[in-house]
Structure 1
């Protein structure tokens, strides 16, 4: 005999269901009909005690098929719970690949200390760094300092920097394309760099192992996913991004 579609989810529970004064009970739980589930979700979540707390509260008194999944989905969309709940876990560390020789990959950045601007350049192989005082934070001044460093150590294959205007200007792009310097094969601290590199690799693997404890990689974003952003120093998530098919934001509010 065909069963009405509305009672099919309860077929395997038929021995646990009872009728008391017009109410359908599953043990001590009241079975909630489809028309009242939205209101019941708001009541369950009224105290904002999180997913686990709300699920425990719901299981004590009410029941409907897929209730736990419905409660979880409802709470995940709550801005208050997302703002004050547990934070998103860190992702696993993705460190830079250590090059095979000194000065093959360098990173550079500008910082201010005691009212003066400085350029720091770090070698990714040996962790050796150089510091230059900057009279001005312009592309021409930074290029002049980098030319002196490249003349001493050699022109790197990879140069890593931020997106500051002095690193993205036309003058700096022209400098990076032409490379009008002769390569110097002289390597500073050569007797020590091999031993230091081995120690540095071991130290970084150990740091990566400790960092990755309790981390997990997040799933890839898909078209139409909404991503909430928490500005630095604020408690609530004020901004939302919606992604297009290329994984780029199509609106921002």
Structure 2
């Protein structure tokens, strides 16, 4: 009720400039009757909005004129201050130029009334400083003691409060006269003080608008104000908005909407930040942009490759032919099978007429007959190397098969590249063991320590970029790299098992495959759930392929039932029947050069 009376008093003060004001304000006047109930109807709301529009019309407001006398009326209420700057027209009428008001802070509300009235004067003078500085004007107040305390001809009061002395010193920079006006005739400023504009609604951060307009203190304790306090020298106000340089400080209520506008066409993090830095700012703006993009499923499906995982070395085998790496190479339309011993880097290359599983097994039989069976064989996921025939061949000879992740040749780097110089010795020296051991050999350091030192150096140089190993849990929803073409670069998958330090077995749709951590990203989709993954069918009695990449644990092989048909020896593709050869040797004993040897009962290489 009191606020309505103050608003009607303001309109009554300028009623001579308002056309049909009595008719317009009739619904509001009915609320002030004693017998009427307080019901704010749509007619009251419409009358209130129309009255505010009338105050802003050119019939009421006038443009600032340096030739017309200038007045500034100030008043204070228990919770706000207000000021009106106006011109005295040639006919003696007072026409407003601008209005200003603000609420009082908790500390200012505890001021004495005389201090509140003085604060209203200081607020009005600072608010309209550009209009008042350098010309004569008249201060109007409804508090008579201020005529003496803040009068232009009065000295600075020595017995007044310290803040009153400071305000008196501020007013000494202006040329003014001060006049007293009764509260009944002071309705324009009185209404603004009782209907103040919220001080902080332009930024959403408490105190920013007030400090920007009235000056910042030497320090602030509120954490919410610290980002603004650091930039206080660069803050300015224009048309009710606070600007940091050329960027508008966005209130909290509008930030989410502007973020959605920035992200409308999914331009990515960098483009959104660049666009935002041209127009807007608020504390934590960059972080909110990053979170929005990381939570968008569309942006996640087409994002770039992640940072390369830290270098993870294969464990150096202590014995020759303990672990071998194989791969196929092509040069001038000729295929080659490349086999490298991981201990010595000894290289074996075989020309291949075709790269089928059967031909690969024939070559490996010949190689194993010369050097023996390795404990582990590492290869990629080529169809001839993961077929059932090749898997049964390895299982039958007690060889552990490790398949590296698809589309990640670095995991099988020993076979993908030529021998390197990590060991510091020639492959022949390590593989053939030609160097004789003497007492002086004890002076040399152990080879294993040198390899570990070289690997540590490589890891340090490789990981100098600050990359860290990303770890995923079993059952976690992830995105894996799509190498089969299509619009999406990253597709949905689910982690089934962690096979090694940087390899995982994942379920992608209806199939399972081994994936390197460089081809995996965490699932950050909002409002989406990964589809239920159905396990792929398992053929009964079919041996599984062990898929590991780094630091594989050596699993002792169980006794294998060997079938003694034939033995293949080098050169490749030359088959010798052991049983028939033995029969022929028995039929012609006079041709034997050496004593007869009984072959083993079970032999299958």
TM-score under structure 1 normalisation? 0.68
Partners of 1:164 and 1:156 lie apart in 2 by 20
C-alpha change, 1:152 and 1:50, in structure 2 (3 Å) is: same
In structure 2, C-alpha distance between the alignment counterparts of 1:120 and 1:44, rounded to whole Å: 50
The answer to whether 1:243 aligns with 2:508 is no
Query: Which runs of structure 2 are paired with 1:97-108 in the superposition (5 Å)?
Result: 97-108=315-326
Q: Distance in 2 between matches of 1:112 and 1:119?
A: 9
Q: Deviations over 1:203-240 (max 9, x none)?
A: 444333322221513533577756374759x9x97333
Correspondent of 2:205 among 3, 7, 10? 10
Larger Rg: 2
CA-CA distance at 1:50 after TM superposition: 5.0
Could you tell me which residue of structure 2 aligns to residue 139 of structure 1?
Answer: 357
Report the 3-state secondary structure (helix = DSSP H, G, I; strand = E; otherwise coil) of the residue aligned with 1:211.
Answer: helix
Structure 2 match to 1:175: 393
The superposition leaves residues 123-154 of structure 1 with CA deviations (integer Å, 9 ceiling, x where unpaired) of: 00011110112233222221121122222222
Task: Give yes or no for the alignment of 1:39 onto 2:258.
Answer: yes
**2:464 match:** 213
SS across alignment from 2:434? helix
Alpha-carbon contact 1:121-1:129 (below 8 Å) kept? yes
* Inter-partner Cα distance in structure 1 for 2:240 and 2:476: 41
User: Aligned-pair distance for 1:56?
Assistant: 6.8
CA offset at residue 122 of structure 1? 0.4
- Contact kept in structure 2, 1:103 and 1:156, CA below 8 Å: yes
Of the three residues 216, 237, 240, the one matched with 1:23 is 240
Once the two structures are TM-superposed, the CA of residue 60 in structure 1 deviates from its matched residue by 7.0
Q: Is the 8 A contact 1:17 1:24 kept in 2?
A: no
Deviation, 1:68, is 2.6
Question: Could you list the runs of 5+ residues in structure 2 that have no partner in the other structure?
Answer: 1-105, 107-200, 214-235, 400-429, 438-443, 497-505, 510-529, 532-605
Post-superposition Cα deviations, 1:8-27, rounded to whole Å, max 9, x if no partner, equal x7347575466968735376
Structure 1 partner of 2:366: 148
Deviation per residue, 1:42-84 (Å, 9 max, x gap): 3599896954x7547646753445433222234555749x76x
Q: Which digits, 9 at most, give the CA deviation of each residue in 1:186-209, with x for residues without a partner?
A: x85213599996666554443333
Looking at structure 2, the residues matched to 193 and 230 of structure 1 have their Cα atoms a distance apart, in angstroms, of: 53
Work out the CA distance in 2 between the residues paired with 1:38 and 1:99. Answer: 59
CA RMSD after TM alignment: 4.6
Q: CA deviation at 1:249?
A: 3.7
Q: Give distance in 2, aligned partners of 1:171 and 1:43.
A: 56
SS at 1:191 equivalent: coil
Secondary structure, counterpart of 1:238 in structure 2: coil
Out of 115, 122, 136, which is 2:333 matched to?
115
The change in CA–CA distance for 1:158 and 1:215 in structure 2 (over 3 A counts) is farther
Partners of 1:45 and 1:75 within 8 A in 2: no
Stretch of structure 1 that moved more, 92-101 or 56-65 = 56-65
Please give the TM-score of this superposition, normalised by the length of structure 2.
0.32
How many angstroms apart in 2 are the aligned matches of 1:17 and 1:224? 50
Is 2:442 the counterpart of 1:190?
no
Structure 1 unmatched ranges of 5 or more: 2-6, 182-186
Q: Distance in 2 between matches of 1:98 and 1:224?
A: 32
Q: Residues 191, 47 of structure 1: CA spacing in aligned structure 2 closer, same or farther, 3 A cutoff?
A: same
Give the secondary-structure state (helix, strand or coil) at the position aligned to 1:148: helix
With 221-230 and 104-113 compared, the bigger mean Cα shift is at: 221-230
Q: Residues 51-66 of structure 1: matches in 2 within 5 Å?
A: 51=270, 55=273, 58=276, 62-64=280-282, 66=284
Distance 1:193 1:157, change over 3 A: farther
Partner in structure 1 of residue 379 of structure 2 = 161
CA spacing shift, 1:63–1:138, aligned 2, 3 Å: closer
